[in-house]
Amino acid sequence: MTDQTKITGGARQEWMGLLARAPEKAVLDLWANAGARPRFDWLRSPEVGGVMVRGRTGGTGAPFNLGEMTVTRCSLVLQDGTIGHGYVQGRSKPKAEAAALIDALMQTDAAETIRAKVIVPLRQQMQADRNTRAAKAAATKVEFFTMVRGED
Amino acid sequence: MYVAVKGGEKAIENAHAWLAEERRGSTDVAELSVAQIREQLSLAVNRVMAEGSLYDPDLAALAIKQARGDLIEAIFLIRAYRTTLPRFGYSNPVETAAMICDRRISATFKDAPGGQVLGPTFDYTHRLLDFKLAAEGEVPAVSEGPARTGSTPHITGFLRGEGIIQDEPASDETPGDLTREPLEFPTDRPLRLQSLTRGDEGFVLGMAYSTQRGYARNHAFVGELRIGKVPVEMDIPELGFAIEIGEIELTECETVNQFKGSKTEPPQFTRGYGLVFGQSERKSIAMALVDRALRWKELGEDNLGAPAQDEEFVLSHADNIQATGFLEHIKLPHYVDFQSELELVRKLRREAEERLTSKEAAE
Protein backbone atom coordinates (compact mmCIF):
# COMPACT_ATOMS: atom_id res chain seq x y z
CA MET A 1 0.00 0.00 0.00
CA THR A 2 1.47 3.32 -1.06
CA ASP A 3 1.09 6.41 1.01
CA GLN A 4 -2.26 7.74 -0.21
CA THR A 5 -1.28 11.30 0.59
CA LYS A 6 1.21 11.09 -2.30
CA ILE A 7 -1.55 10.61 -4.83
CA THR A 8 -2.81 13.97 -5.85
CA GLY A 9 -6.56 14.47 -5.85
CA GLY A 10 -6.24 15.66 -9.44
CA ALA A 11 -4.77 12.38 -10.71
CA ARG A 12 -7.36 10.29 -8.93
CA GLN A 13 -10.13 12.58 -10.13
CA GLU A 14 -8.91 12.09 -13.67
CA TRP A 15 -8.91 8.28 -13.64
CA MET A 16 -12.18 8.03 -11.74
CA GLY A 17 -13.83 10.41 -14.21
CA LEU A 18 -12.44 8.44 -17.12
CA LEU A 19 -13.79 5.17 -15.71
CA ALA A 20 -17.18 6.77 -15.01
CA ARG A 21 -17.61 8.11 -18.54
CA ALA A 22 -16.12 5.20 -20.50
CA PRO A 23 -18.37 2.66 -22.21
CA GLU A 24 -18.92 -0.49 -20.15
CA LYS A 25 -17.41 -2.77 -22.77
CA ALA A 26 -14.19 -0.74 -23.08
CA VAL A 27 -13.62 -0.83 -19.32
CA LEU A 28 -14.39 -4.54 -18.95
CA ASP A 29 -12.27 -5.55 -21.95
CA LEU A 30 -9.23 -3.59 -20.80
CA TRP A 31 -9.67 -4.78 -17.22
CA ALA A 32 -9.88 -8.41 -18.37
CA ASN A 33 -6.73 -7.96 -20.47
CA ALA A 34 -4.86 -6.43 -17.56
CA GLY A 35 -5.06 -9.83 -15.88
CA ALA A 36 -5.15 -8.50 -12.33
CA ARG A 37 -7.41 -10.43 -9.93
CA PRO A 38 -6.77 -8.94 -6.50
CA ARG A 39 -8.66 -10.32 -3.52
CA PHE A 40 -10.92 -7.84 -1.83
CA ASP A 41 -13.83 -7.39 0.55
CA TRP A 42 -16.86 -5.27 -0.14
CA LEU A 43 -17.34 -2.16 1.93
CA ARG A 44 -20.43 -1.40 -0.10
CA SER A 45 -21.51 -3.87 -2.75
CA PRO A 46 -22.60 -2.41 -6.09
CA GLU A 47 -25.89 -0.53 -6.03
CA VAL A 48 -27.74 1.28 -8.80
CA GLY A 49 -29.13 4.71 -8.03
CA GLY A 50 -29.94 8.09 -9.46
CA VAL A 51 -28.17 11.42 -9.35
CA MET A 52 -30.13 14.59 -9.98
CA VAL A 53 -28.25 16.58 -12.62
CA ARG A 54 -28.33 20.34 -12.29
CA GLY A 55 -28.02 23.10 -14.84
CA ARG A 56 -27.93 26.87 -14.49
CA THR A 57 -30.53 29.36 -15.71
CA GLY A 58 -29.14 31.02 -18.82
CA GLY A 59 -26.10 28.71 -18.61
CA THR A 60 -24.49 30.89 -15.93
CA GLY A 61 -27.19 31.81 -13.39
CA ALA A 62 -28.98 30.10 -10.52
CA PRO A 63 -28.94 26.28 -10.36
CA PHE A 64 -32.02 24.27 -11.33
CA ASN A 65 -32.76 20.54 -11.37
CA LEU A 66 -32.61 19.21 -14.91
CA GLY A 67 -33.34 15.50 -14.44
CA GLU A 68 -31.73 12.38 -13.10
CA MET A 69 -29.13 10.02 -14.52
CA THR A 70 -28.40 6.44 -13.52
CA VAL A 71 -25.20 5.79 -11.60
CA THR A 72 -23.80 2.59 -10.07
CA ARG A 73 -21.47 2.80 -7.12
CA CYS A 74 -19.51 0.46 -4.88
CA SER A 75 -16.60 0.51 -2.46
CA LEU A 76 -14.13 -2.24 -1.63
CA VAL A 77 -10.96 -2.83 0.31
CA LEU A 78 -7.94 -4.79 -0.92
CA GLN A 79 -6.13 -7.14 1.44
CA ASP A 80 -3.44 -4.53 2.09
CA GLY A 81 -6.13 -2.12 3.28
CA THR A 82 -6.30 0.06 0.15
CA ILE A 83 -9.80 1.35 -0.44
CA GLY A 84 -11.21 1.69 -3.94
CA HIS A 85 -14.39 3.47 -4.98
CA GLY A 86 -16.35 2.95 -8.15
CA TYR A 87 -18.82 5.61 -9.33
CA VAL A 88 -19.85 4.93 -12.90
CA GLN A 89 -22.57 6.11 -15.26
CA GLY A 90 -25.31 3.61 -16.05
CA ARG A 91 -26.46 0.41 -14.37
CA SER A 92 -23.56 -1.96 -14.85
CA LYS A 93 -22.47 -3.58 -11.59
CA PRO A 94 -19.50 -5.36 -13.26
CA LYS A 95 -18.29 -1.99 -14.56
CA ALA A 96 -18.59 -0.41 -11.10
CA GLU A 97 -16.68 -3.33 -9.58
CA ALA A 98 -13.91 -3.07 -12.18
CA ALA A 99 -13.73 0.70 -11.66
CA ALA A 100 -13.38 0.29 -7.88
CA LEU A 101 -10.66 -2.36 -8.28
CA ILE A 102 -8.81 -0.17 -10.78
CA ASP A 103 -9.16 2.80 -8.42
CA ALA A 104 -7.72 0.73 -5.58
CA LEU A 105 -4.85 -0.71 -7.61
CA MET A 106 -3.96 2.75 -8.92
CA GLN A 107 -3.08 3.62 -5.32
CA THR A 108 -0.74 0.63 -4.93
CA ASP A 109 2.56 -0.54 -6.43
CA ALA A 110 0.54 -2.00 -9.30
CA ALA A 111 -0.31 1.55 -10.42
CA GLU A 112 2.15 1.70 -13.31
CA THR A 113 0.96 -1.60 -14.79
CA ILE A 114 -2.69 -0.64 -14.48
CA ARG A 115 -2.02 2.80 -15.89
CA ALA A 116 -0.29 1.29 -18.92
CA LYS A 117 -2.82 -1.49 -19.49
CA VAL A 118 -6.09 0.24 -18.62
CA ILE A 119 -5.98 3.98 -18.04
CA VAL A 120 -3.77 5.05 -20.95
CA PRO A 121 -5.51 2.95 -23.65
CA LEU A 122 -8.93 3.95 -22.26
CA ARG A 123 -8.00 7.63 -22.39
CA GLN A 124 -6.71 7.18 -25.94
CA GLN A 125 -9.87 5.39 -27.11
CA MET A 126 -12.11 8.06 -25.68
CA GLN A 127 -10.00 10.88 -27.03
CA ALA A 128 -10.02 9.26 -30.47
CA ASP A 129 -13.82 8.98 -30.42
CA ARG A 130 -14.11 12.58 -29.31
CA ASN A 131 -11.68 13.76 -32.01
CA THR A 132 -13.61 11.93 -34.72
CA ARG A 133 -16.88 13.62 -33.72
CA ALA A 134 -15.19 17.00 -33.49
CA ALA A 135 -13.71 16.49 -36.97
CA LYS A 136 -17.13 15.58 -38.39
CA ALA A 137 -18.65 18.65 -36.73
CA ALA A 138 -15.87 20.81 -38.17
CA ALA A 139 -16.74 19.62 -41.68
CA THR A 140 -20.28 21.00 -41.18
CA LYS A 141 -19.04 24.48 -40.29
CA VAL A 142 -20.47 27.06 -42.67
CA GLU A 143 -17.96 29.06 -44.68
CA PHE A 144 -19.77 32.24 -45.67
CA PHE A 145 -18.86 34.11 -48.79
CA THR A 146 -20.26 37.37 -50.12
CA MET A 147 -21.39 37.76 -53.69
CA VAL A 148 -19.96 40.90 -55.28
CA ARG A 149 -22.81 43.22 -56.14
CA GLY A 150 -22.52 45.86 -58.83
CA GLU A 151 -23.83 48.82 -56.88
CA ASP A 152 -20.88 51.24 -56.70
CA MET B 1 -75.22 -0.29 -0.04
CA TYR B 2 -71.72 -1.07 -1.29
CA VAL B 3 -71.10 -4.29 -3.15
CA ALA B 4 -67.52 -5.21 -4.02
CA VAL B 5 -67.28 -6.82 -7.40
CA LYS B 6 -64.37 -9.00 -8.36
CA GLY B 7 -63.55 -10.69 -11.60
CA GLY B 8 -61.72 -10.22 -14.83
CA GLU B 9 -58.44 -11.88 -13.78
CA LYS B 10 -58.60 -14.39 -16.59
CA ALA B 11 -59.57 -11.74 -19.13
CA ILE B 12 -56.68 -9.51 -18.00
CA GLU B 13 -54.21 -12.37 -18.19
CA ASN B 14 -55.32 -13.21 -21.70
CA ALA B 15 -55.22 -9.55 -22.74
CA HIS B 16 -51.60 -9.32 -21.54
CA ALA B 17 -50.62 -12.43 -23.48
CA TRP B 18 -52.21 -11.02 -26.63
CA LEU B 19 -50.52 -7.66 -26.03
CA ALA B 20 -47.14 -9.45 -25.93
CA GLU B 21 -47.93 -11.22 -29.19
CA GLU B 22 -49.09 -8.01 -30.89
CA ARG B 23 -45.99 -6.21 -29.62
CA ARG B 24 -43.82 -8.80 -31.31
CA GLY B 25 -45.73 -8.41 -34.57
CA SER B 26 -45.30 -10.87 -37.41
CA THR B 27 -42.63 -13.47 -36.65
CA ASP B 28 -41.77 -13.38 -40.37
CA VAL B 29 -40.00 -10.12 -39.53
CA ALA B 30 -36.83 -10.08 -37.42
CA GLU B 31 -37.29 -8.90 -33.83
CA LEU B 32 -36.10 -5.40 -32.95
CA SER B 33 -33.33 -5.33 -30.37
CA VAL B 34 -33.02 -2.72 -27.62
CA ALA B 35 -29.60 -1.78 -29.00
CA GLN B 36 -31.15 -1.15 -32.45
CA ILE B 37 -33.71 1.20 -30.91
CA ARG B 38 -31.01 2.99 -28.91
CA GLU B 39 -28.79 3.47 -31.98
CA GLN B 40 -31.31 3.95 -34.78
CA LEU B 41 -34.28 5.64 -33.10
CA SER B 42 -32.08 7.85 -30.96
CA LEU B 43 -34.30 10.94 -31.11
CA ALA B 44 -37.23 8.93 -29.74
CA VAL B 45 -34.86 7.66 -27.05
CA ASN B 46 -33.88 11.26 -26.30
CA ARG B 47 -37.47 12.33 -25.92
CA VAL B 48 -38.22 9.48 -23.53
CA MET B 49 -35.16 10.40 -21.46
CA ALA B 50 -36.07 14.09 -21.38
CA GLU B 51 -39.73 13.66 -20.45
CA GLY B 52 -39.07 10.55 -18.33
CA SER B 53 -36.53 12.78 -16.57
CA LEU B 54 -33.93 10.02 -16.43
CA TYR B 55 -30.80 9.93 -18.57
CA ASP B 56 -30.21 6.29 -19.50
CA PRO B 57 -30.38 5.49 -23.24
CA ASP B 58 -30.60 1.71 -22.75
CA LEU B 59 -33.54 1.99 -20.37
CA ALA B 60 -35.33 4.46 -22.63
CA ALA B 61 -34.85 2.11 -25.60
CA LEU B 62 -36.23 -0.80 -23.57
CA ALA B 63 -39.22 1.31 -22.55
CA ILE B 64 -39.92 2.19 -26.20
CA LYS B 65 -39.84 -1.48 -27.15
CA GLN B 66 -42.10 -2.47 -24.27
CA ALA B 67 -44.53 0.37 -25.07
CA ARG B 68 -44.74 -0.65 -28.75
CA GLY B 69 -43.44 2.78 -29.70
CA ASP B 70 -46.03 4.71 -27.67
CA LEU B 71 -43.66 7.36 -26.32
CA ILE B 72 -45.92 8.60 -23.54
CA GLU B 73 -46.36 5.02 -22.33
CA ALA B 74 -42.55 4.64 -22.50
CA ILE B 75 -42.10 7.87 -20.51
CA PHE B 76 -44.56 6.48 -17.95
CA LEU B 77 -42.42 3.33 -17.60
CA ILE B 78 -39.28 5.44 -17.08
CA ARG B 79 -40.97 7.68 -14.49
CA ALA B 80 -42.15 4.60 -12.62
CA TYR B 81 -38.66 3.08 -12.72
CA ARG B 82 -36.92 6.23 -11.50
CA THR B 83 -39.02 6.31 -8.35
CA THR B 84 -37.43 2.97 -7.38
CA LEU B 85 -33.88 4.36 -7.54
CA PRO B 86 -32.18 5.55 -4.37
CA ARG B 87 -31.04 9.14 -4.83
CA PHE B 88 -27.25 9.29 -4.45
CA GLY B 89 -27.18 13.06 -4.55
CA TYR B 90 -27.23 16.15 -6.72
CA SER B 91 -24.58 16.99 -9.31
CA ASN B 92 -22.77 20.28 -9.53
CA PRO B 93 -24.42 22.44 -12.19
CA VAL B 94 -23.18 21.34 -15.62
CA GLU B 95 -20.93 23.77 -17.49
CA THR B 96 -22.57 24.16 -20.87
CA ALA B 97 -19.87 26.66 -21.89
CA ALA B 98 -17.46 23.71 -21.86
CA MET B 99 -19.71 21.61 -24.11
CA ILE B 100 -18.02 19.67 -26.93
CA CYS B 101 -20.47 20.81 -29.61
CA ASP B 102 -21.73 18.54 -32.38
CA ARG B 103 -23.90 21.43 -33.50
CA ARG B 104 -23.84 25.10 -32.66
CA ILE B 105 -25.69 27.80 -34.55
CA SER B 106 -26.66 31.39 -33.92
CA ALA B 107 -29.47 33.21 -35.69
CA THR B 108 -28.20 36.56 -34.40
CA PHE B 109 -24.46 36.62 -35.23
CA LYS B 110 -23.23 35.31 -38.54
CA ASP B 111 -19.57 35.50 -37.56
CA ALA B 112 -19.83 34.16 -34.02
CA PRO B 113 -16.48 32.91 -32.70
CA GLY B 114 -16.54 29.14 -33.08
CA GLY B 115 -18.64 29.50 -36.20
CA GLN B 116 -21.95 28.16 -37.40
CA VAL B 117 -21.60 24.41 -37.07
CA LEU B 118 -24.60 22.60 -38.55
CA GLY B 119 -24.01 19.12 -37.13
CA PRO B 120 -26.25 16.18 -38.11
CA THR B 121 -29.33 18.33 -38.79
CA PHE B 122 -32.60 17.77 -40.68
CA ASP B 123 -32.78 21.52 -41.37
CA TYR B 124 -31.68 21.58 -44.99
CA THR B 125 -33.21 18.28 -46.08
CA HIS B 126 -36.07 18.52 -48.56
CA ARG B 127 -38.48 16.47 -46.48
CA LEU B 128 -38.99 14.08 -49.34
CA LEU B 129 -39.29 10.43 -48.44
CA ASP B 130 -36.03 8.66 -49.12
CA PHE B 131 -36.89 5.28 -50.58
CA LYS B 132 -33.25 4.26 -50.46
CA LEU B 133 -33.76 3.79 -46.70
CA ALA B 134 -36.45 1.21 -47.41
CA ALA B 135 -33.80 -0.92 -49.06
CA GLU B 136 -30.79 -1.88 -47.02
CA GLY B 137 -28.59 1.04 -47.89
CA GLU B 138 -25.02 2.00 -47.40
CA VAL B 139 -24.33 5.22 -45.54
CA PRO B 140 -22.24 7.80 -47.38
CA ALA B 141 -18.76 8.52 -46.07
CA VAL B 142 -18.71 11.44 -43.64
CA SER B 143 -16.29 14.28 -44.29
CA GLU B 144 -13.98 15.42 -41.58
CA GLY B 145 -12.45 18.82 -41.05
CA PRO B 146 -9.84 20.29 -38.75
CA ALA B 147 -11.38 19.77 -35.30
CA ARG B 148 -11.78 22.69 -32.95
CA THR B 149 -9.78 22.48 -29.81
CA GLY B 150 -10.97 24.31 -26.75
CA SER B 151 -14.44 25.32 -25.76
CA THR B 152 -16.97 27.29 -27.76
CA PRO B 153 -17.94 30.55 -26.03
CA HIS B 154 -21.59 31.38 -25.41
CA ILE B 155 -23.02 34.01 -27.76
CA THR B 156 -24.74 35.86 -24.94
CA GLY B 157 -21.30 36.36 -23.38
CA PHE B 158 -20.46 38.86 -26.15
CA LEU B 159 -23.62 40.88 -25.56
CA ARG B 160 -23.01 40.77 -21.84
CA GLY B 161 -19.64 42.43 -22.36
CA GLU B 162 -21.52 45.37 -23.81
CA GLY B 163 -24.00 45.40 -20.93
CA ILE B 164 -26.86 45.35 -23.41
CA ILE B 165 -28.35 42.06 -22.28
CA GLN B 166 -29.81 41.16 -18.94
CA ASP B 167 -27.24 39.29 -16.86
CA GLU B 168 -27.66 35.83 -15.33
CA PRO B 169 -25.51 36.15 -12.20
CA ALA B 170 -24.30 32.85 -10.80
CA SER B 171 -25.57 31.75 -7.41
CA ASP B 172 -25.23 28.70 -5.21
CA GLU B 173 -28.80 28.77 -4.06
CA THR B 174 -30.33 25.30 -3.65
CA PRO B 175 -33.13 24.98 -6.20
CA GLY B 176 -36.49 23.46 -5.35
CA ASP B 177 -37.00 19.93 -6.63
CA LEU B 178 -40.45 18.96 -7.83
CA THR B 179 -39.60 15.26 -7.56
CA ARG B 180 -39.41 15.85 -3.80
CA GLU B 181 -41.94 18.63 -3.13
CA PRO B 182 -45.15 19.02 -5.14
CA LEU B 183 -45.33 22.18 -7.21
CA GLU B 184 -46.89 25.12 -5.39
CA PHE B 185 -47.80 28.51 -6.85
CA PRO B 186 -46.39 31.07 -7.20
CA THR B 187 -43.19 29.29 -8.16
CA ASP B 188 -39.72 30.48 -9.17
CA ARG B 189 -37.65 30.23 -12.33
CA PRO B 190 -35.55 27.17 -11.33
CA LEU B 191 -38.74 25.18 -10.61
CA ARG B 192 -40.34 26.39 -13.84
CA LEU B 193 -37.31 25.24 -15.82
CA GLN B 194 -37.36 21.81 -14.14
CA SER B 195 -41.03 21.48 -14.96
CA LEU B 196 -40.61 22.63 -18.58
CA THR B 197 -37.60 20.44 -19.37
CA ARG B 198 -39.60 17.31 -18.45
CA GLY B 199 -42.83 18.71 -19.89
CA ASP B 200 -44.58 17.26 -22.92
CA GLU B 201 -42.88 18.36 -26.13
CA GLY B 202 -46.17 18.88 -27.94
CA PHE B 203 -47.64 20.95 -25.14
CA VAL B 204 -44.53 23.12 -24.68
CA LEU B 205 -44.32 23.56 -28.46
CA GLY B 206 -47.98 24.66 -28.62
CA MET B 207 -47.48 27.14 -25.79
CA ALA B 208 -44.34 28.54 -27.43
CA TYR B 209 -46.14 28.83 -30.75
CA SER B 210 -48.94 30.77 -29.10
CA THR B 211 -46.41 33.42 -28.03
CA GLN B 212 -45.16 33.70 -31.60
CA ARG B 213 -48.69 34.12 -32.89
CA GLY B 214 -49.29 37.09 -30.63
CA TYR B 215 -50.39 35.80 -27.23
CA ALA B 216 -47.74 37.60 -25.12
CA ARG B 217 -45.44 38.05 -28.07
CA ASN B 218 -41.86 38.59 -26.99
CA HIS B 219 -39.88 38.78 -30.24
CA ALA B 220 -37.51 35.90 -29.75
CA PHE B 221 -34.31 35.35 -31.72
CA VAL B 222 -32.39 32.12 -31.29
CA GLY B 223 -29.24 33.70 -29.92
CA GLU B 224 -27.68 30.31 -29.76
CA LEU B 225 -28.52 26.66 -30.10
CA ARG B 226 -25.93 24.07 -29.17
CA ILE B 227 -25.95 20.30 -28.94
CA GLY B 228 -23.17 18.22 -27.50
CA LYS B 229 -21.79 16.41 -24.51
CA VAL B 230 -20.93 17.76 -21.11
CA PRO B 231 -19.38 15.92 -18.18
CA VAL B 232 -21.43 15.63 -14.99
CA GLU B 233 -19.55 16.24 -11.77
CA MET B 234 -20.63 15.40 -8.24
CA ASP B 235 -19.06 15.88 -4.80
CA ILE B 236 -18.34 12.48 -3.29
CA PRO B 237 -18.36 12.70 0.52
CA GLU B 238 -16.20 9.60 1.05
CA LEU B 239 -13.53 11.04 -1.26
CA GLY B 240 -13.72 14.62 -0.09
CA PHE B 241 -13.62 15.95 -3.65
CA ALA B 242 -15.75 16.07 -6.79
CA ILE B 243 -15.39 13.58 -9.63
CA GLU B 244 -17.02 13.19 -13.00
CA ILE B 245 -19.70 10.54 -12.71
CA GLY B 246 -20.55 10.49 -16.38
CA GLU B 247 -21.19 12.45 -19.52
CA ILE B 248 -24.55 13.44 -21.00
CA GLU B 249 -25.74 14.86 -24.27
CA LEU B 250 -27.69 18.11 -23.95
CA THR B 251 -29.42 20.62 -26.18
CA GLU B 252 -29.22 24.21 -24.99
CA CYS B 253 -31.11 27.14 -26.47
CA GLU B 254 -30.74 30.74 -25.47
CA THR B 255 -33.15 33.21 -26.93
CA VAL B 256 -32.45 36.90 -27.10
CA ASN B 257 -35.62 38.94 -26.75
CA GLN B 258 -36.40 42.54 -27.42
CA PHE B 259 -37.23 44.48 -24.28
CA LYS B 260 -38.18 48.12 -24.26
CA GLY B 261 -37.42 48.52 -20.58
CA SER B 262 -39.71 48.96 -17.63
CA LYS B 263 -40.01 51.09 -14.52
CA THR B 264 -37.06 49.27 -13.00
CA GLU B 265 -35.01 48.03 -15.98
CA PRO B 266 -33.31 49.99 -18.79
CA PRO B 267 -34.01 49.04 -22.44
CA GLN B 268 -31.97 45.92 -23.14
CA PHE B 269 -32.20 42.40 -24.44
CA THR B 270 -33.69 39.77 -22.16
CA ARG B 271 -33.27 36.02 -22.29
CA GLY B 272 -35.21 32.81 -22.39
CA TYR B 273 -33.51 29.52 -21.61
CA GLY B 274 -34.00 25.95 -22.71
CA LEU B 275 -31.91 22.97 -21.64
CA VAL B 276 -33.03 19.45 -22.45
CA PHE B 277 -31.53 15.93 -22.28
CA GLY B 278 -30.32 14.56 -25.60
CA GLN B 279 -30.65 16.04 -29.04
CA SER B 280 -33.99 17.78 -28.53
CA GLU B 281 -33.86 20.93 -30.56
CA ARG B 282 -37.55 21.73 -31.04
CA LYS B 283 -38.19 21.16 -27.36
CA SER B 284 -35.34 23.36 -26.15
CA ILE B 285 -36.33 26.29 -28.40
CA ALA B 286 -39.95 25.93 -27.25
CA MET B 287 -38.83 25.75 -23.63
CA ALA B 288 -36.83 28.97 -24.02
CA LEU B 289 -39.83 30.82 -25.48
CA VAL B 290 -42.15 29.65 -22.72
CA ASP B 291 -39.54 30.41 -20.04
CA ARG B 292 -39.29 33.96 -21.38
CA ALA B 293 -43.07 34.43 -21.48
CA LEU B 294 -43.36 33.25 -17.86
CA ARG B 295 -40.81 35.86 -16.72
CA TRP B 296 -43.17 38.79 -17.29
CA LYS B 297 -43.55 39.53 -13.59
CA GLU B 298 -39.86 39.71 -12.67
CA LEU B 299 -39.18 41.88 -15.73
CA GLY B 300 -42.01 44.26 -14.85
CA GLU B 301 -43.97 43.54 -18.03
CA ASP B 302 -47.73 43.71 -18.32
CA ASN B 303 -49.85 40.65 -17.73
CA LEU B 304 -51.66 40.40 -21.06
CA GLY B 305 -53.75 37.50 -19.83
CA ALA B 306 -52.10 35.19 -22.36
CA PRO B 307 -52.09 31.47 -21.56
CA ALA B 308 -48.27 31.30 -21.86
CA GLN B 309 -47.92 33.95 -19.12
CA ASP B 310 -50.01 31.95 -16.66
CA GLU B 311 -47.57 29.70 -14.80
CA GLU B 312 -50.34 27.81 -13.07
CA PHE B 313 -51.93 26.99 -16.40
CA VAL B 314 -48.66 26.11 -18.15
CA LEU B 315 -46.96 24.11 -15.43
CA SER B 316 -50.07 22.28 -14.24
CA HIS B 317 -50.73 20.96 -17.74
CA ALA B 318 -47.21 20.42 -19.11
CA ASP B 319 -46.66 16.99 -17.57
CA ASN B 320 -47.94 14.30 -19.91
CA ILE B 321 -47.84 11.57 -17.28
CA GLN B 322 -50.07 13.52 -14.91
CA ALA B 323 -52.30 14.45 -17.82
CA THR B 324 -52.59 10.99 -19.29
CA GLY B 325 -53.07 9.44 -15.86
CA PHE B 326 -56.06 11.61 -15.14
CA LEU B 327 -57.39 11.48 -18.66
CA GLU B 328 -57.13 7.72 -19.06
CA HIS B 329 -58.50 6.84 -15.65
CA ILE B 330 -61.99 7.72 -16.85
CA LYS B 331 -62.01 4.61 -19.04
CA LEU B 332 -61.60 2.38 -15.98
CA PRO B 333 -64.70 1.00 -14.24
CA HIS B 334 -66.86 3.73 -12.70
CA TYR B 335 -69.86 1.45 -12.34
CA VAL B 336 -70.87 2.64 -8.87
CA ASP B 337 -70.31 6.34 -9.66
CA PHE B 338 -72.33 5.98 -12.78
CA GLN B 339 -75.07 3.99 -11.03
CA SER B 340 -75.62 6.85 -8.59
CA GLU B 341 -75.73 9.39 -11.44
CA LEU B 342 -78.20 7.20 -13.26
CA GLU B 343 -80.41 7.07 -10.15
CA LEU B 344 -80.18 10.83 -9.80
CA VAL B 345 -81.08 11.58 -13.42
CA ARG B 346 -84.01 9.12 -13.25
CA LYS B 347 -85.25 10.79 -10.06
CA LEU B 348 -84.96 14.31 -11.55
CA ARG B 349 -86.76 13.21 -14.63
CA ARG B 350 -89.53 11.55 -12.60
CA GLU B 351 -89.96 14.73 -10.58
CA ALA B 352 -90.07 16.87 -13.71
CA GLU B 353 -92.71 14.59 -15.23
CA GLU B 354 -94.76 14.68 -12.06
CA ARG B 355 -94.62 18.49 -11.99
CA LEU B 356 -95.79 18.57 -15.60
CA THR B 357 -98.65 16.15 -14.90
CA SER B 358 -99.89 18.06 -11.84
CA LYS B 359 -99.67 21.36 -13.78
CA GLU B 360 -101.76 19.89 -16.60
CA ALA B 361 -104.28 18.53 -14.08
CA ALA B 362 -104.62 21.96 -12.52
CA GLU B 363 -105.37 23.60 -15.85
Give domain status of residue B215, yes or no.
yes
Q: Do A144 and B111 touch (CB under 8 A)?
A: yes
B139-143, B218-222, B285-289: range with highest mean pLDDT = B285-289
Nearest by CB to residue B90, choosing from A13, A54, A131, is A54
Give domain status of residue B103, yes or no.
yes
Average pLDDT over residues B182-188: 94
Number of domains in chain B: 2
Question: Tell me, what's the pLDDT at B137?
Answer: 72
Rounded Cα distance between B343 and B357, Å, is 21
Give domain status of residue B292, yes or no.
yes
**Residues A27-61 pLDDT 10s:** 999 999 999 999 999 999 999 999 999 999 999 99
Give domain status of residue B155, yes or no.
yes
Measured between beta carbons, the chain A residues lying within 8 angstroms of B156 are 58-59
* Cβ neighbour number for residue B226 with a 10 Å cutoff: 28
Question: Tell me, what's the pLDDT at B235?
Answer: 97
| A76 and A40 Cβ atoms separated by less than 8 Å | yes
Give domain status of residue B87, yes or no.
no
Q: Do A75 and B238 touch (CB under 8 A)?
A: yes
| B101 and B117 Cβ atoms separated by less than 8 Å | yes
Rounded Cα distance between B48 and B247, Å, is 18
Selection from B362, B311, B84, B313 nearest residue B189 by Cα:
B311
Residues B154 and B246 in one domain: yes
3-state secondary structure chain A: CCCHHHCCHHHHHHHHHHHHHCCHHHHHHHHHHHCCCCCEEEEEEEEEEEEEEEEEHHHCCCEEEEEEEEEEEEEEEECCCCEEEEEEECCCHHHHHHHHHHHHHCCCCCHHHHHHHHHHHHHHHHHHHHHHHHHHHHHCECCCCCCCCCCC
Name the pLDDT band for B5 (thresholds 50, 70, 90): low
What are the DSSP calls for B290-350, one per residue? HHHHHTTTTTT------GGG-HHHHHHH--HHHHHHHHHHTTS--HHHHHHHHHHHHHHHH
Rounded Cα distance between B134 and B131, Å, is 5
Amino acid sitting at position B240: G
- 3-state DSSP call for residue B9? helix
Residues B17 and B101 in one domain: no
The ranges assigned to domains in chain A are 4-138
| Alpha-carbon distance A145 to nearest alpha carbon in chain B (angstroms) | 11
Give domain status of residue B334, yes or no.
no
Does the pLDDT of residue B83 top 80, yes or no? Answer: yes
Residue B244 host element (H or E): strand B241-257
Rounded Cα distance between A60 and B156, Å, is 10
For helices B320-329 and B71-82, give the axis angle rounded to 10 degrees: 110
Alpha-carbon dihedral sign for residues A65, A66, A72, A76: negative
Q: Do A68 and B82 touch (CB under 8 A)?
A: yes
What are the DSSP calls for B183-207, one per residue? --SS--HHHHHHHHHTS-HHHHHHH
Give domain status of residue B14, yes or no.
yes
Average pLDDT over residues A78-88: 97
- Looking at the complex, does the CB of residue B178 fall below 8 Å from at least one CB of chain A? yes
- Contacts of B64-67 with CB under 8 Å at 24 or more apart are B64/B37, B65/B23, B65/B32, B65/B34, B65/B37, B66/B23
Nearest by CB to residue A20, choosing from B177, B245, B271, is B245
Does the pLDDT of residue A5 top 70, yes or no? Answer: no
Does the pLDDT of residue A127 top 60, yes or no? Answer: yes
Give me the domain span that covers residue B22.
10-82
Q: Does ipTM exceed 0.85?
A: yes
Rounded Cα distance between B67 and B20, Å, is 10
Nearest by CB to residue A64, choosing from B88, B143, B194, is B194
Give domain status of residue B24, yes or no.
yes
Rounded Cα distance between A120 and B32, Å, is 36
**Residues B265-301 pLDDT 10s:** 788 899 999 999 999 999 999 999 999 999 999 888 8
Selection from A134, A142, A141, A137 nearest residue B120 by Cα:
A137
Name the pLDDT band for A1 (thresholds 50, 70, 90): very low
**Residues B98-130 pLDDT 10s:** 999 999 999 998 888 889 999 999 999 999 998
